[in-house]
């Protein structure tokens, strides 16, 4: 008899994977499902499966869990660490405890490091190890970060992660590895692309962390790979411990007249413009925040927009309202109160203030101050000579340094650069421009040699 089918349900924007395990009798186990259950439900429906179990490997910091929703709407039994102190009905598990799935067994393995209460789940067919849902312990090519619980505990948790990884690595080399975090996740370090298929044997052969000769070297390598992360990471763990609110209906985006939106903005609301870069550049409501709708929309919404004030969306007619709302809800943003009815045309017709930002070509960068707002690791891997580096998440705090123009803002393609430019413009920057393209394009156009290092 072959191994039970496991469907990977990737979230490329967050760099995570959920899993759907077919138990062979019409029931399924979901592992690390997010609050946005659309893809998981499609995968289950395509195979005629009903979710009977919802397991969470840890108290997620980068998305709200869908386990509570699956319990409420599908009758799923929630499986999670007893040490997590969750305040909703679940079966609390400790290291070594097993759950009979009806022919298959799920064994909890205590794997602290990414979080204190972290569990991996080993899937067994009798005594045979089929695969391990490793969450944020051993992941493809790396391990999940250990600095989210408390800064002063980072090294302590790195040492715990060392023992957890080696515990997972002691499984049968043929055992499949099913991690939650992958490349693109701010929870991971130098991980492989999300959804990468690998085994324990593959990781033993290829993982730099597993090949580290001792614990101190492991800690140095792991801590050296940590980058910045969105501030909402510090809220979601507790929200997941309490249990996200159960949603009774699919979210909808209410149309608001431009003058109503203007009044909301005057009272403290913000406009989040999700239109493409070119549309925002041409015309946008004055002081609007640009976060183009794309797979990574949730991460940047959670990094740049407030969660404690009303948000109003500006979108183009072809952009999916449900996608905007689900991406927001899966990171705990329930404060989107509506959208500008009629879009930018209605805003302009109402005579409300607008602004524009120039997009420039690579040949227009020569002799102008350049601000590269990519992550520090991206900048160090290759940047233009003389370009300053300020990560997008830090732009608002340091915007005053760029009040006097001109300045050309760049990233890899333009979306993050326009977000940064909108933040600078809101802070009063006089002449902000956005590069169409990335530093490689400028280097080619101006025959420049890229520099490396901080």
Which residues have a catalytic role annotated? 411
The span from the CA of 417 to the CA of 381, in Å, is: 18
CA distance 112 to 162: 9
- Coil, strand or helix: which one is 142? strand
Q: What are the Cα distances from residue 439, in Å, to 171, 291, 338, 399, 431?
A: 44, 21, 37, 21, 20
Verify cis geometry, omega within 30 degrees of 0, for the bond prior to 47.
no
Q: How far is CA 279 from CA 344, 438, 449, in A?
A: 9, 19, 32
**Contact indicator for 138, 180 with CB cutoff of 8 Å:** no
Eight-class DSSP state of 193: B
Lookup result for tokens 């900048």: 379
Residue 246 neighbours by CB distance under 10 Å: 11
**Own/partner pairs for 261-264, CB < 8 Å, 24+ apart?**
261/312, 261/338, 261/340, 261/347, 262/350, 262/352, 264/310, 264/312, 264/337
415-426 and 297-304 are packed helices; what angle lies between their axes, rounded to 10 degrees?
Answer: 20
């Amino acid at each position: 008899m072959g191994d039970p089918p496991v469907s990977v349900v990737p979230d490329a924007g967050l760099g995570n994977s959920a899993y759907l395990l077919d138990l062979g009798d019409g029931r399924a186990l979901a592992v690390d499902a997010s609050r946005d259950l659309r893809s998981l439900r499609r995968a289950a429906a395509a195979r005629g499966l009903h979710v009977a179990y919802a397991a969470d490997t840890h108290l997620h910091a980068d998305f709200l869990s869908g386990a509570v929703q699956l319990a409420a709407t599908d009758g799923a039994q929630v499986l999670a660490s007893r040490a997590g102190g969750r305040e909703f009905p679940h079966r609390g598990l400790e290291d070594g405890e097993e759950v009979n799935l009806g022919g298959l067994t799920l064994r909890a393995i205590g794997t602290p490091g990414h979080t204190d209460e972290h569990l991996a789940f080993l899937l067994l067919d009798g005594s045979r190890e089929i695969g391990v849902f490793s969450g944020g312990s051993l992941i493809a090519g790396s391990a999940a970060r250990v600095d989210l619980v408390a800064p002063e505990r980072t090294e302590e948790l790195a040492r715990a992660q060392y023992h957890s990884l080696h515990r997972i690595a002691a499984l049968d080399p043929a055992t499949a590895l099913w991690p939650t975090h992958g490349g693109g996740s701010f929870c991971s370090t130098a991980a492989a692309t999300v959804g990468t298929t690998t085994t324990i044997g593959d990781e033993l052969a290829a993982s730099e962390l597993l090949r580290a000769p001792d614990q101190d070297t492991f800690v140095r390598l792991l801590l050296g790979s940590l980058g910045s992360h969105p501030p909402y990471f510090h809220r979601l763990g507790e929200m997941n411990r309490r249990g996200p609110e159960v949603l009774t209906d699919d979210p909808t985006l209410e149309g608001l007249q431009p003058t109503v939106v203007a009044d909301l903005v005057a009272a403290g609301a913000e406009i989040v413009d999700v239109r493409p870069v070119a549309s925002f550049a041409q015309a946008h409501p004055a002081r609007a925040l640009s976060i183009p709708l794309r797979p990574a929309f949730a991460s940047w919404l959670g990094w740049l927009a407030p969660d404690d004030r009303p948000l109003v969306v500006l979108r183009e007619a072809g952009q999916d309202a449900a996608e905007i709302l689900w991406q927001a809800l899966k990171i705990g943003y329930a404060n989107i109160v509506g959208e500008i009815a009629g879009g930018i045309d209605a805003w302009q017709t109402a005579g409300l203030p607008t602004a524009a930002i120039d997009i420039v070509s690579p040949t227009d960068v020569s002799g102008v101050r350049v601000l590269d707002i990519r992550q520090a690791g991206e900048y160090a891997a290759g940047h233009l000579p003389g370009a300053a580096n300020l990560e997008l998440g830090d732009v608002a705090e340091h915007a005053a340094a760029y009040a006097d123009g001109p300045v050309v803002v760049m990233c890899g393609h333009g979306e993050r650069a326009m977000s940064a430019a909108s933040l600078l413009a809101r802070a009063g920057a006089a002449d902000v421009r956005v590069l169409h393209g990335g530093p490689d394009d400028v280097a080619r156009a101006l025959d420049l040699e890229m520099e490396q290092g901080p």
